[in-house]
Structure 1
């Protein structure tokens, strides 16, 4: 079988080019510590890595959201605890006021104390979160409540704040509106809220108008308020526990995903160095053989 000069050149050149490309690829893998740098390196692996990167980015966002939600829930709990303390004080004052032997002056003093408690509750209800937003604000409105010049308190805005996504199809209501937390209290005269319950008693005591009966009604209503706020704190704790579980799940998923990514992408340094050495040896041998062969005086006459 005769081999032409052109065929010999073409075959040798093609082989050296393939070896050079392979050597360059191996050197890139060593330099980047990645065996898949472009889609042409491994189409299936590149697609899998792209999916892993997207999932990792999503979970990073979920992780940030979990941190935010935990912070909001922690602040909600501490603020509700402070509100609970104020309500307990108000309940104690209502018990003191439910005494027919008190003088009008004593009733007035208790009424003034309750007025201060209402002001403190308004301040707590309007607490700002770490973002500078109303912690118990509704979907609309800057503050949770507003106190008029006559001392009456009203809820502002409407609707509930949107839940925070913390996983694929999983979200958590990190905060509640003031209306949900402090309103809808069942009283003898119909639905009310904690501000109105305490303010009504304060007015009755200051004016000394049906004070004893008002104190008895307020005492019962404050029990309902405390139960509602206590239930809200329980809900906050349950949501915080759920976030801990979701955070653990994200950590486990991230670890498993990293193992998959490493298997697909990371360069096996020792194996790659060995293959590069083999490739360079073959390339150098091919170059040497081609150089010697092309230098033969009879080479031009081969057909």
Structure 2
């Protein structure tokens, strides 16, 4: 009989302790919910919501990187557009000089003066073609790390880049070319009278050479100047086309940025709905839990003080 009573008493204490511990743990959790505004503080609280929230967090991290790439691509395209705009201004000035230089009334001194200004324009375009982008890489160097263009001892300017720059990912299955190689933009502009291909710097260099060559027969000079003007027209068209392409890509990036930001807001809202606490409900549940806990504690204290428990001890 005594063994049975002791066994029942031990079971009562174990069950009561478990109940009190569970109620206290629930009260602690509700207090944390109210303090932090977060309902799912651990996967065990709500495994389904926790799993979904973890997936949303991973997607948000991806979207954050995509958004950073969108902003970087926009910056690179803006820099390229500004550089091409500067080149357009210089090429336009070179065209004005070439038209003046084609006049048969000019003296050799006049032509050399025009050639000197053209050389300064070439220097400016060369410097612009060798700009570094926001990452410190050559803006028009393609996939290469060094300068996009180099200049030989005789003044000849050649492309030193290689390949095309890697596109930037801006979505799960989409990317964008944030820069263009100098070879794509300024190479193979046209062919000269002999059918030989010319890039932008060859066109400009040929014009300078013609204006500085006093011994060139007038007929050959006229042909060369016409060639030069045609080349400048081709450069102008190429630059305009490149800027139009940049504008189209920039517009696409604006759309992508809006899409990513809207999606991020939706995912944040969903994650909050999944894991966030309803404060009114949490407070009401905490009050109810505390009442139950207090009642359980009082009951346990009263029962544990009965003479039978004192006698058994």
Q: TM-score range by the shorter chain?
A: over 0.9
Question: How far is 1:170 from its partner?
Answer: 1.6
| Moved beyond 4 Å, runs of 4+ | 298-302
8 A Cα contact 2:67 2:170, kept in partner:
yes
Question: How far is 1:13 from its partner?
Answer: 2.3
Q: What is the alpha-carbon distance in structure 2 between the residues aligned to residue 231 and residue 187 of structure 1?
A: 19
Q: Give the structure-1-normalised TM-score.
A: 0.94
Q: Secondary structure at 1:146's aligned position in 2?
A: strand
The count of aligned residue pairs is: 301
Q: What is the alpha-carbon distance in structure 2 between the residues aligned to residue 116 and residue 299 of structure 1?
A: 106
1:203 equivalent in alignment to 2:209: yes
Question: How far is 1:300 from its partner?
Answer: 6.9
Q: Give the structure-2-normalised TM-score.
A: 0.91
Q: What is the alpha-carbon distance in structure 2 between the residues aligned to residue 251 and residue 140 of structure 1?
A: 33
Moved more, 23-32 or 237-246: 23-32
Question: How far is 1:17 from its partner?
Answer: 2.0
Q: What is the alpha-carbon distance in structure 1 between the residues aligned to residue 61 and residue 182 of structure 2?
A: 34
TM-superposition CA deviations, 1:193-242 (whole Å, max 9, x none): 11100111110111132322211111111111110111000011111111
Return the match for 1:283 from 280, 288, 293.
293
Please name the residue that 2:107 is paired with: 103
Gaps of 5+ in 2: none
Please name the residue that 1:11 is paired with: 15
Q: Secondary structure at 2:307's aligned position in 1?
A: coil
Structure 1 residues 123-162: aligned runs within 5 Å: 123-162=127-166
8 A Cα contact 1:52 1:257, kept in partner:
yes
What RMSD in Å do the two structures reach over aligned CA positions?
1.8
8 A Cα contact 2:126 2:149, kept in partner:
yes
Question: How far is 1:49 from its partner?
Answer: 1.2
Please name the residue that 2:75 is paired with: 71
Question: How far is 1:180 from its partner?
Answer: 0.9
Please name the residue that 1:59 is paired with: 63
Gaps of 5+ in 1: none
